[in-house]
């Protein structure tokens, strides 16, 4: 039997594509190897969102090259966004690579491996979904479900539209059938995936059009499923019906990740985000109004070209107003082929660094403050396994998407009640309510 080793970089979309790659490889007789050394096929599912992602990959490729030299029969494959962004150049830069493919060509990997001649091949069309491929889930009780591929936005800093192509929605019937199968198979929590989930369905043919809010409602109606999450909505497209779903549909979790990117309307315009500060804050006000306890998290970029001190202060003001439960913060990274990479006014590193430090300070302060509201409450937790910091304890996640470490006896995949005893910016601590389990 042949074996494979797969390393995944990047977002949840990539994690999910990797599950499809694994499923597909196992369906053609490959078994997973614990390390690269022992694998006939060494695969990378790559990301290109920021420069750091590129650099990390290059480090790993060194080992692949050495192993290929030791045994030229080994097959080296590079899939995903970095591969798509480089296309045939992958082979110029790394001649030891046998097969390169973009996110829309995962299915071609099996074709390549089962073909007679293994001469170097690149596959970079945008052909669509991995949804029909077999899947090997990381966890039995949690699953990702792709609802659309690609992105029609034109954010000037972002490489994704060029690596994942135009947006194509998957017909809702197909999505629901998949979620039904997953629920019947023991999945308690699904995360619906799309680059811009709130524009889901707009491209479907007349008669088959379904809005994202309607999709949420149909998924919520599926028996056995306890939790629905999704990522990511776009502030320009999230409507009241979607926000309302968090209040009205039992399985839709109390968490919305609403990427801000910048608090300055001027910078937002240069980013081509098509909303301004006022509109963003208006969406947050609707969330606070309809789902008061909802966790709100975000992505923020500092140091966009031309960002002035005053622009940055506006980002800080939005952070002060919204009081995020947590935020991913990024230093602007120029990406090949994007408009922003060519803009004048690229900022010196120390300025970016200083702004980042201030931003992170504020984000952490609010995250810590906001988390205190959970202390003393008994919360529903989906158990994920042993705690990473203390194996005597369990780790799970609340509906608000907070990681919680707690003393208890529940098994992975179970929903249980945990009393929260303390909270930091990133994690909660608590004790399982064993009596509640008996009752």
- Selected from 96, 126, 129, 330, the binder of ligand 5AD by CB under 6 A is 330
**Rule CB under 6 A: is residue 11 a binding residue for ligand SF4?**
yes
Stretches 184-192, 214-222, 239-247, 326-334: which one binds ligand 5AD (CB under 6 A)?
A: 326-334
Q: C-alpha angle with apex 254: 228 to 405, nearest 5 degrees?
A: 90
Distance CA 424, CA 394 (A): 17
Stretches 313-321, 332-340, 396-404, 419-427: which one binds ligand 5AD (CB under 6 A)?
A: 332-340
Q: C-alpha angle with apex 322: 316 to 324, nearest 5 degrees?
A: 90
**Rule CB under 6 A: is residue 261 a binding residue for ligand 5AD?**
yes
Tally: H helices and E strands in the chain: 15, 19
Binding residues for ligand SF4, how many (CB under 6 A)? 13
Stretches 19-27, 325-333, 371-379, 415-423: which one binds ligand 5AD (CB under 6 A)?
A: 325-333
User: What does DSSP say about strands 255-257 and 295-302: parallel, antiparallel, or unpaired?
Assistant: parallel
Phi, psi at residue 297, to the nearest 5°? -125, 170
- Of residues 66 through 95, those in contact with ligand SF4 by CB under 6 A are 80-81
For residue 312 the two structure tokens come to 């940055």
Q: Which residue is nearest to ligand SF4 (CB)?
A: 10
Beta bridge partners of 343: none
Distance CA 31, CA 230 (A): 31
The b/e string for 419-436 (b: 16+ C-beta within 10 A; e otherwise) is: ebeebeeebbbbebbeee
- Of residues 43 through 62, those in contact with ligand SF4 by CB under 6 A are 47-49
- The H-or-E segment that residue 247 falls in is helix 240-248
79/430 with CB nearer ligand SF4: 79
261/387 with CB nearer ligand SF4: 261
Place of tokens 């990381």: 138
- Of residues 92 through 131, those in contact with ligand SF4 by CB under 6 A are none
261 binds, among ligand SF4, ligand 5AD, none (CB under 5 to 8 A by kind): ligand 5AD
- Give residues in contact with ligand SF4 (CB under 6 A): 10-11, 13-14, 47-49, 80-81, 159-160, 163-164
- Give residues in contact with ligand 5AD (CB under 6 A): 49-50, 157-158, 259, 261, 299, 301, 330, 332-333, 335
């Amino acid at each position: 039997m042949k074996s494979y080793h797969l390393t995944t970089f990047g977002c949840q979309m990539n994690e999910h594509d990797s599950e499809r790659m694994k499923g597909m490889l196992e369906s053609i007789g490959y078994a997973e190897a614990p390390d690269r050394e022992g694998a006939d096929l060494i695969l990378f599912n790559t990301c290109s969102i920021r420069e750091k992602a590129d650099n990390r990959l290059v480090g790993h490729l060194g080992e692949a090259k050495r192993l290929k030299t030791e045994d030229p029969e080994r097959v080296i494959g590079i899939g995903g966004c970095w591969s798509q962004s480089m296309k045939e150049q992958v082979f110029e830069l790394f001649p030891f690579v046998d097969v390169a493919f973009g996110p829309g060509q995962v299915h071609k990997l099996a074709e390549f491996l089962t073909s007679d001649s293994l001469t170097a091949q690149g596959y970079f069309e945008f052909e669509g979904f991995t949804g029909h491929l077999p899947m090997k889930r990381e966890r039995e009780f949690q699953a990702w479900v792709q609802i659309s591929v690609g992105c029609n936005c034109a954010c000037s800093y972002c490489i994704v539209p060029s690596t994942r192509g135009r947006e194509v929605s998957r017909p809702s019937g197909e999505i629901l059938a998949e979620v039904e199968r997953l629920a019947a198979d023991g999945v308690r929590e699904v995360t619906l995936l799309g680059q811009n989930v709130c524009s889901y369905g707009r491209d479907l043919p007349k008669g088959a059009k379904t809005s994202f809010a309607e999709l949420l409602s149909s998924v919520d109606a599926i028996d056995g499923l306890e939790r629905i999450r999704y990522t990511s909505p776009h502030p320009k497209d999230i409507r009241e019906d979607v926000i309302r779903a968090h209040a009205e549909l039992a399985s839709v979790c109390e968490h919305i990740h609403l990427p801000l990117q910048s608090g300055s309307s001027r910078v937002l315009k240069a980013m081509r985000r098509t909303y301004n500060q006022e509109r963003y804050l208006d969406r947050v006000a609707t969330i606070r109004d309809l789902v008061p306890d909802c966790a709100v998290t975000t992505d923020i970029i500092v140091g966009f070209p031309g960002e002035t001190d005053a622009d940055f202060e506006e980002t800080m003001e939005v952070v002060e107003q919204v009081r995020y439960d947590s935020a991913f913060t990024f230093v602007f990274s120029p990406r090949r082929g994007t408009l922003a990479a060519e803009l004048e006014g690229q900022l010196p590193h120390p300025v970016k660094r200083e702004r980042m430090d201030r931003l992170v300070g504020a984000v952490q302060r609010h995250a810590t403050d906001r988390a205190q509201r959970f202390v003393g409450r008994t919360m529903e937790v989906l158990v994920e396994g042993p705690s990473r910091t203390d194996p005597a304890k369990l780790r799970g996640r609340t509906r608000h998407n907070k990681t919680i470490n707690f003393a208890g006896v529940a098994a992975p995949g179970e929903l249980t009640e945990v009393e929260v005893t303390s909270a930091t910016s990133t994690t909660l601590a608590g004790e399982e309510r064993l009596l509640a389990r008996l009752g």
